Amino acid sequence: MTFRPKIFTAHLLTIILWASAFPGIRMALTAYTPTHVSLLRLLVGSLLLLVVALFIKLPLPDLKDIPIILLLGFLAFAVYHVALNYGEQTVSAGPASLLVSTAPIFTAIMAVVFFRERFKLQGWIGAFIAIVGVGFISLGGSEEISFNLGAMLILLAALSESVYFVFQNAYLQKYGFFPFTMYTIWGGTICMLVFSGGLLQEMATAPIDVTMAVVYLGIFPTVIPYFAIAYVTSKTGAAEATSSLYLTPVFAFLIAWIWLGETPAASAIIGGVITLLGVFISNMRNEEQVGTNEHDVMSHEQTGNLFDA
């Protein structure tokens, strides 16, 4: 991580805001259904981005690209958020953030399958270690099988996010990182409108602090970090911009402990350390590996946590 003040501040802002999303979701679920948390959060974020789009006069995407934008938005925002929210009904915030941190591994494996990217031996070793860590996480926090189902749903969220990152590259090159992200957030929001029934009734009965938690999710973890990431990327490149995101689970555990009083089980802590070790090993890069192939892999793998929570 670069320690120039503005870049360091952007890194820190991104990590803390994305980490805060996991306990924020847990709080939101006390008064809202998982689908309504997702919908309201995306509506808030989409409206804010619409104001930004009008201010910067964002052009519309090509008509022929709208189906794929809707599909990728559905995967990255509708499926991701709904699966994560259902999973966090039974999985506490810290372990949930660790499970989501496996997304770069899914991304790398799919890049090998679909784009024949090179995945070195250390990548497969890291993936295996991370899977072992996920197993430890799945043992902690609850004696009921529902926790295992929750862990599986969060892994589904990580997988759907990974599909998005694998297939977004051509559209990032065409539209740019931030415009394409805005398009797909709007696409995901449109897909979520099918769950709008009953949302107003829940808003009328939900405690104001819980509703404000959802508004917080929509404004801060969903929108602001993208500005910070875009800034760092413009100054240092994608690899540097995302190099610090593996610290997100550490802050998620800390924020969940302060905000919600969640104390993770010992097996979840052990599993978290193992999972982070596996993800770190899987994403290690040699200094001499530069050029087009590395840039493409970084675009796919290292941005694997860009939509956490």
pLDDT tens digits for 81-136? 999 999 999 888 888 888 887 777 787 778 778 877 676 777 778 778 877 877 77
Listing DSSP states for 229-260 in one string gives HHHHHHHH-HHHHHTTGGGHHHHHHHHHHHHH
Mean pLDDT of 206-233: 87
pTM: predicted TM-score of the whole model, two decimal places? 0.80
CA dihedral for 304, 160, 256, 204, sign (positive or negative): positive
Q: Are 95 and 35 in contact (CB under 8 A)?
A: no
**In this structure, what DSSP letter does residue 246 have?**
G
Mean pLDDT of the chain: 81
Mean pLDDT of 149-173: 88
Cα separation of 267 and 94, whole Å? 12
Q: Are 130 and 155 in contact (CB under 8 A)?
A: no
**pLDDT given for residue 145 in this prediction:** 37
Which sequence spans correspond to the domains of the chain?
Answer: 5-301
Beta strand segments in the chain, E: none
Give tens-digit pLDDT for 22-52.
Answer: 999 999 999 999 999 999 999 999 999 999 9
Q: Which of 56, 5, 17 is nearest to 306 (CA)?
A: 17
**pLDDT given for residue 114 in this prediction:** 84
Give tens-digit pLDDT for 61-78.
Answer: 999 999 999 999 999 999
Which amino acid appears at position 247 of this protein? L
Please say if the pLDDT value at position 57 is more than 80.
yes
